[in-house]
C-alpha cells in the first residue's frame, strides 16, 4: 500500500472500524475546559485534533462563553470554516463577533456557496457590508445575488457549483473531463446534462455513469424526469419534493429554465428536521429553538404568547363570572368545572397535533379534509360518551348528587365533540387564510374548549339545579 | 441525438423542464375517481401512467376504500412494488389484504432488501409465514434474518446490497468490475473497501472515484474515517449520526466488524421526519400519526391519555375541594383560579417543548443541563413578575379588591417559577430513567402546575382573606 498523505493521516487519527461512539462526551467537554483554564494549549490541540467540524461545533456550544472564545483563539488558523455552519445561531454570532470581518471573509471564501450564504444571511447589514468589501469580486457577486432571492427559497439553499456536461458527450469524454477539471465541487451525486441554451434536459446518477462503458452517449442513459426546482420555490416545498421522490440532488433553474445551481440532500435533512421541529415548538407557543438564546431574549420571545393566553384565560373567567350566583349556591360546581374544560382542551389538542402535522406533510388536503373532520367529530363523540359516564359517576358519588353527574356528563360530551370539530376546522381554516396553523391554532382551540366547557357546564347547572 | 427507448419514452410522458407542480392535485383525484366509477379503465391508465410510485401512493390514500382497491385491480401487473413502501400503514394493510400473499411475495422480491423488510415487518405472523413459503430461499433467509434484529435498529434499516471492493484493486479494475457486474444495487453513493476479513477499512465517494485516473489504487484515495454502524444501533441514533456528519451512506457491521449492509440517506430522511413528528404528536398525547386509522382504532388509541388526564384533573379538583369553604365566602376566587393554573401550564409547556426537542437532538446533555435549568427558572421568574403585575391589576380592578390582586400575583410568580423548574427537570429525569420524555412529560407537568396553581392561590387566599 503506497503511503499517501491523505490516506495515512486520516488512518492514524481515528480507528477505522465501528463500535466507537460518536459525538462529544461530557468528559471531553470537561477535559477541554480544564485544559483551557490551565493554559495547556498543546493538550487542547491534541484533544480536538481528530474531531469532525460538527463535533467541534458541539464542543463550542457546550463550553462557557469565555472558554468558547479561548478555544477559537487556540484553534487559530486551523479553525475550519465548516464549524460555523454547524453552530446554533446565538453561539455562531458570538464566535463571528470574536473572529471579526476579515477573518470571517476569508473563512466564507473556503465554503461552498450554499454554506457561505447560510452564514452570511444571518449577519447584520453593517457586518455584511464589511465582509463584502473584504471578499474577492467573483465571490462577492455570488453572495449579493443570493440575497436577492426570498428568504427560505431554493435560491438561498442551492450551491452554485454544479457538474454540467453538454448533451453531445459520451461517458468517456465525461470521465476524461472530470479527471482533468480542477474546479469541481467536493461532493456531488448526479451529473446534469444541458442543451445549448443551458437548460437541464437530463440527469445521470454517478452510480450509473460508473457502470456505463466509454462509448455510450450521455443522452442514452440520462433520466429525463429531472424535477427541476424554480429559484423562488419555498424550502419547505423543496424538502417535500426530495422526500416524496427520494432525491439526492435536484437542479435549480431560473425563469428562463436555465440551470443555475443544485440542491443536495444534506441541506434537506436539516430543513426537514427544522420544519418538523418548528411545528412542534410552535404548537407550544415557542417560536424557535431558543436553547442558546440569552435569558432576556427568551423571556421577551415567550411573552407575547403568554399574553395571548392571559387574555383567553380572562375570557374564560368572564364566562365563569356570569354564573357567580350559581357557584355561590353550589360550590361543587367550582370544584368540578376545571375537569370539563381540561378534557375538552386535551382531546382538542390531540386532534390538532395530528391535523397540523398532516397539513405540513400534505397528507391532509382538500381531497381528504371532509373525511378527516367527520372522523375526528366521531372520535370526539365516542370518547366523550365514555368519559361522560366515568366522570358522571365520579361526580355523582363525590357530591352524592346524581343530577350533578348527569350535568357534567352532558357538558363533557358536548365539549369533546366541539373539540374534535375545532381541532380540525381551526387549522384548516388558518391554512386557507395563509396563516401558519402551527402557531395560532392552539390558542384559538383552548379558548373555545374553555369557554364552551365552562358555559355548558355552569349554564346547564343553572337551568337544572336552581 | 440517438433515439433510445429509455430517453425517448420518459421525455414524452413528462416535460423535462421546471415550473410543473408536483404531487397529486385534488382535480386528479376527482378525475381518477370518476373514471373508476364509470368503468373507464383506459382513461385511468392514462391518468396514472406518468406518475411516480410515491404519487400513486398518495392517490391511493386519497381515494375511497372501494375506488382504492379498484385502482389496484386496474393497475394489475403494472402495480409497482415501490408503491407499497410509500403507503401509510392502515392503507397499506388494506391493499396488501387485497393483493394476497402470493402477489405480495412476488412484489417483495422486486424490492431492495431494506424496503422489503419495511413492508414485511408490519404484517401479522400468519401472513408473514404464507409469504415466506412463497419466496425463493435466498430471499426468505434475508427477510427472516432481518427480523432477528431489534425493531427500529440499524439491522432492520440496512440494505444487503452493498458495492464492496477489495483493497488491492485500482480505480481501473474497479470501474471494469462495475461495468461487467449484473447484480449491483440500483442506486449507491459510496464504494466500500474491505480487507480480507471483510471488514470495511475505507470508503470512496463515487464523485471521487469518477475523478481519479485508472492506475490509482483504492487505498490511496479512500476515506478511512468511515463511521461504521453496529447492527443493533437504534435508528434514532443512526439518524443523528447521518445528520451530524452529513453522511450519504454508512456501512453496517456485525459484532466481528464484518461489513453486512449499508444504510443510505433516503431512509434517514424518513426517520428524521418520523422522530421529530413523533415527538410533536406525543407531546399532545397522540402516539402516532393516525390520519388513516379507523375511527374505532383512533378512539381506542387516544383513550388512555385522556384517562390519565381525567385522573390528574380530578386530583386538581380535590385540591380545589380543600378550599370549598373559602370559595363559598369569596366566589371571586372560583372565577380567577383557572387563570393561575392556565398561565403556569402554558409557561411550562413552552419550556417543555424546547427541552424535549433539545434532548432528542442531543443539544441538551448532562454538560449543558444545569445552565439550561437555571435559565428556564430565570425566564419563568421574569415572565412571572410581568404577568403578576398585569393579572394583579386586572383582578384588583375587576373585584375592586387590591388584596385579591396581590394574592393572584404572588401565586402567579410562584407557579411560573415552578413551571420553569418542572418543564426542565421532568423531561431530563424521565430521560435518565429510560422513559420517553416526549410522551410522559406533559401529563406530569400540567398536574404539577394545576395543583401548585390552585393550592397556592386558594391557600394564600384562605390565610389572608378569612
Q: Is the pLDDT of residue B398 over 90?
A: yes
Instruction: Check if CATH label 3.30.70.270 holds for domain A22-151.
Output: no
> Rg of chain A over CA atoms, in angstroms?
30
Best A354, A355, A395, A457 member to test B by mutation, with max B CBs in 10 Å, is: A354
Helices B265-283 and B235-245: angle between axes, nearest 10 degrees: 120
Out of A242, A310, A349, whose CB is closest to B269?
A: A242
pLDDT value of position B291 = 65
Confidence of residue A123 (pLDDT cuts 50, 70, 90): confident
With CA atoms as reference, report the closest residue to A454 among A272, A301, A323. Answer: A323
Which are the contacts of A138, defined by CB distance < 8 A and separation ≥ 6?
Answer: none
Q: Is the pLDDT of residue B333 over 60?
A: yes
DSSP three-state, residue B350: helix
DSSP three-state, residue A255: coil
Q: Do the Cβ atoms of B343 and A306 come within 8 Å?
A: yes
Kindly state the average pLDDT of the residues B310-324: 92
Torsion-angle region of B293 (φ positive above 0: left; ψ -120 to 50: alpha; else: beta): beta
Out of B61, B187, B276, whose CB is closest to A205?
A: B187
Confidence of residue B290 (pLDDT cuts 50, 70, 90): low
pLDDT value of position B19 = 33
> Chain B residue with minimal CA distance to A450?
B338
Min CA distance, A426 vs chain B (Å)?
16
Confidence of residue B12 (pLDDT cuts 50, 70, 90): very low
Q: Is the pLDDT of residue A12 over 70?
A: no
Q: Is the pLDDT of residue A30 over 60?
A: yes
pLDDT value of position B3 = 35
Portions of chain B given CATH number 1.25.60.10: 22-157
Which are the contacts of A421, defined by CB distance < 8 A and separation ≥ 6?
Answer: A373, A376, A377, A380
pLDDT value of position A292 = 67
Contact indicator for B392, B408 with CB cutoff of 8 Å: yes
Cβ contacts of A186 on chain B, cutoff 8 Å: 207
Q: Which CATH superfamily is domain A164-264 in?
A: CBS-domain (3.10.580.10)
Cβ contacts of A367 on chain B, cutoff 8 Å: 26, 29-30, 62
Portions of chain A given CATH number 1.25.60.10: 22-151
**ipTM of this complex prediction, to 2 decimal places:** 0.73
Q: Is the pLDDT of residue B38 over 70?
A: yes
pLDDT value of position A354 = 85
With CA atoms as reference, report the closest residue to A377 among A342, A351, A357. Answer: A351
Q: Is the pLDDT of residue A277 over 80?
A: no
Cβ contacts of B266 on chain A, cutoff 8 Å: 246, 248, 265
Out of B54, B210, B361, whose CB is closest to A209?
A: B210
Distances (CA, A) of A115 to A174, A185, A263, B125, B404: 27, 13, 11, 48, 56
Cβ contacts of B222 on chain A, cutoff 8 Å: 7
- Per-window interface: A 35-64 vs B, CB < 8 A: 52, 54-55, 58, 61-62
The enclosing H or E element of A447 equals helix A437-465
In angstroms, the CA B226 to CA B162 distance is 15
pLDDT value of position B17 = 35
pLDDT value of position B13 = 34
Apex B35 CA angle, B30 and B39, nearest 5: 150
The enclosing H or E element of A261 equals strand A259-264
- Give the DSSP letter of residue B214: T
Min CA distance, A430 vs chain B (Å)?
19
List, in sequence order, every beta strand (DSSP E) within B95-248.
Answer: 164-166, 190-194, 200-205, 229-230
- Mean pLDDT score across all residues of chain B: 86
| Per-residue pLDDT reduced to its tens digit, B162-221 | 899 999 999 999 999 999 988 788 789 999 999 999 999 999 999 999 999 999 999 999
In angstroms, the CA A422 to CA B370 distance is 40
> Chain B residue with minimal CA distance to A277?
B276
With CA atoms as reference, report the closest residue to A179 among B206, B212, B220. Answer: B212
Beta carbon pairs, A and B, within 8 Å: 425
For B22-157, CATH gives 1.25.60.10
Out of B227, B289, B366, whose CB is closest to A354?
A: B289
pLDDT value of position A461 = 95
| Per-residue pLDDT reduced to its tens digit, A298-324 | 888 888 888 988 999 999 999 999 999
With CA atoms as reference, report the closest residue to B310 among B447, B405, B187, B208. Answer: B447
pLDDT value of position A422 = 95
CATH fold group of domain A295-465 = Tetracycline Repressor; domain 2 (1.10.357)
| Per-residue pLDDT reduced to its tens digit, B224-238 | 888 899 999 998 889
With CA atoms as reference, report the closest residue to B423 among B374, B346, B340, B352. Answer: B352
Contact indicator for A363, B61 with CB cutoff of 8 Å: yes
What residues does A153 pair with on adjacent strands? A234
- Per-window interface: B 148-207 vs A, CB < 8 A: 167, 175, 178-179, 181, 184-189, 199-202, 205-207
Read off the C-alpha cell for A394.
Answer: 365520579
Q: Do the Cβ atoms of A290 and B353 come within 8 Å?
A: no
Higher pLDDT, B127 or B199: B199
> Chain A residue with minimal CA distance to B239?
A269
Confidence of residue B9 (pLDDT cuts 50, 70, 90): very low
- Per-window interface: B 309-368 vs A, CB < 8 A: 309-310, 313-314, 316-317, 320-321, 324, 327-328, 331-332, 334-339, 341-343, 346-347, 349-350, 352-354, 356-358, 361-368
Higher pLDDT, A366 or B85: B85
DSSP three-state, residue B310: helix
Q: Do the Cβ atoms of B350 and A302 come within 8 Å?
A: yes
Contact indicator for A283, A442 with CB cutoff of 8 Å: yes
pLDDT value of position A364 = 84
Best A256, A335, A399 member to test B by mutation, with max B CBs in 10 Å, is: A335
Q: Tell me how crowded residue B299 is: count the other CB atoms within 10 A of its CB.
A: 21
Instruction: With 0.80 as the threshold, say if the pTM is over it.
Output: no
Q: Is the pLDDT of residue B7 over 70?
A: no
pLDDT value of position A290 = 61
Kindly state the average pLDDT of the residues A388-413: 96
Best A1, A12, A15, A16 member to test B by mutation, with max B CBs in 10 Å, is: A16
The enclosing H or E element of A164 equals strand A164-166
Kindly state the average pLDDT of the residues A263-282: 79
Portions of chain A given CATH number 3.10.580.10: 164-264
Read off the C-alpha cell for B342.
Answer: 392556565
Min CA distance, A212 vs chain B (Å)?
6
Confidence of residue A13 (pLDDT cuts 50, 70, 90): very low
Q: Is the pLDDT of residue A104 over 60?
A: yes
Cβ contacts of A266 on chain B, cutoff 8 Å: 246, 248, 265
- Mean pLDDT score across all residues of chain A: 86
Q: Is the pLDDT of residue B274 over 80?
A: no
With CA atoms as reference, report the closest residue to A11 among A50, A38, A37. Answer: A50
Which are the contacts of A356, defined by CB distance < 8 A and separation ≥ 6?
Answer: A279, A283, A427, A437, A438, A441, B280
| Per-residue pLDDT reduced to its tens digit, A417-431 | 999 999 999 999 998
Q: Tell me how crowded residue B88 is: count the other CB atoms within 10 A of its CB.
A: 17
pLDDT value of position A257 = 93
Q: Do the Cβ atoms of B253 and A299 come within 8 Å?
A: no
What percentage of chain A exceeds 90 in pLDDT?
49
Is B385 near chain A, with CB under 8 Å?
A: no
CATH architecture for the domain at B164-283: Roll (3.10)
| Per-residue pLDDT reduced to its tens digit, B431-450 | 888 887 877 788 789 889 99
The enclosing H or E element of A259 equals strand A259-264
Kindly state the average pLDDT of the residues B107-131: 86
Q: Is the pLDDT of residue A154 over 90?
A: yes
Amino acid at each position: 500500500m503506497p503511503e499517501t498523505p491523505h490516506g495515512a493521516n486520516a488512518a492514524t487519527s481515528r480507528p477505522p472500524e465501528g463500535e466507537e461512539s460518536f459525538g462529544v462526551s461530557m468528559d471531553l467537554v470537561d477535559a477541554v475546559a480544564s485544559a483551557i483554564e490551565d493554559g495547556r494549549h498543546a493538550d487542547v490541540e491534541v484533544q480536538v485534533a481528530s474531531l469532525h467540524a460538527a463535533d467541534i461545533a458541539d464542543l463550542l456550544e457546550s463550553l462557557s462563553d469565555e472558554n468558547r472564545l479561548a478555544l477559537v483563539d487556540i484553534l487559530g488558523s486551523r479553525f475550519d470554516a465548516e464549524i460555523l455552519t454547524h453552530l446554533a445561531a446565538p453561539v455562531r454570532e458570538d464566535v463571528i463577533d470574536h473572529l471579526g470581518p476579515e477573518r470571517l471573509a476569508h473563512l466564507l471564501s473556503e465554503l461552498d456557496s450554499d454554506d457561505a450564504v447560510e452564514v452570511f444571511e444571518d449577519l447584520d447589514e453593517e457586518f455584511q457590508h464589511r465582509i463584502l468589501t473584504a471578499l474577492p469580486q467573483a465571490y462577492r457577486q455570488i453572495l449579493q445575488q443570493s440575497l436577492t432571492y426570498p428568504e427560505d427559497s431554493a435560491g438561498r439553499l442551492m450551491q452554485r457549483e454544479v457538474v454540467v456536461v453538454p448533451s453531445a458527450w459520451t461517458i468517456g469524454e465525461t470521465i476524461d473531463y472530470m479527471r482533468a477539471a480542477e474546479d469541481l465541487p467536493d461532493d456531488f451525486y448526479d451529473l446534469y446534462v444541458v442543451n445549448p441554451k443551458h437548460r437541464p434536459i437530463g440527469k445521470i446518477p454517478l452510480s450509473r455513469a460508473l457502470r456505463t462503458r466509454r462509448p455510450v452517449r450521455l443522452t442514452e442513459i440520462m433520466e429525463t424526469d429531472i424535477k427541476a426546482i424554480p429559484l423562488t420555490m419555498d424550502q419547505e416545498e423543496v424538502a417535500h419534493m426530495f422526500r416524496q421522490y427520494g432525491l439526492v440532488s435536484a437542479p435549480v433553474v431560473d425563469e428562463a429554465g436555465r440551470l443555475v445551481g443544485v440542491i443536495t440532500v444534506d441541506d434537506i435533512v436539516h430543513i426537514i428536521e427544522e420544519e418538523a421541529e418548528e411545528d412542534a415548538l410552535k404548537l407550544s407557543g415557542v417560536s424557535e429553538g431558543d436553547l442558546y438564546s440569552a435569558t432576556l431574549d427568551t423571556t421577551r420571545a415567550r411573552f407575547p404568547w403568554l399574553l395571548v393566553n392571559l387574555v383567553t384565560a380572562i375570557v374564560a373567567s368572564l364566562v365563569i363570572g356570569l354564573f357567580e350566583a350559581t357557584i355561590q349556591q353550589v360550590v361543587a360546581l367550582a370544584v368540578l368545572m376545571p375537569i370539563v374544560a381540561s378534557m375538552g382542551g386535551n382531546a382538542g389538542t390531540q386532534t390538532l397535533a395530528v391535523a397540523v402535522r398532516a397539513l405540513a406533510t400534505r397528507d391532509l388536503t382538500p381531497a381528504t379534509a371532509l373525511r378527516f373532520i367527520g372522523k375526528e367529530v366521531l372520535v370526539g363523540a365516542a370518547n366523550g360518551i365514555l368519559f361522560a359516564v366515568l366522570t358522571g359517576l365520579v361526580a355523582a358519588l363525590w357530591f352524592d348528587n346524581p343530577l350533578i353527574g348527569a350535568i357534567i356528563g352532558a357538558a363533557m360530551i358536548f365539549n369533546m365533540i366541539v373539540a374534535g370539530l375545532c381541532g380540525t376546522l381551526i387549522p384548516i381554516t388558518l391554512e386557507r387564510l395563509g396563516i401558519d396553523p402551527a402557531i395560532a391554532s392552539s390558542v384559538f382551540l383552548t379558548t373555545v374548549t374553555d369557554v364552551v366547557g365552562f358555559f355548558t357546564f355552569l349554564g346547564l347547572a343553572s337551568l337544572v339545579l336552581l
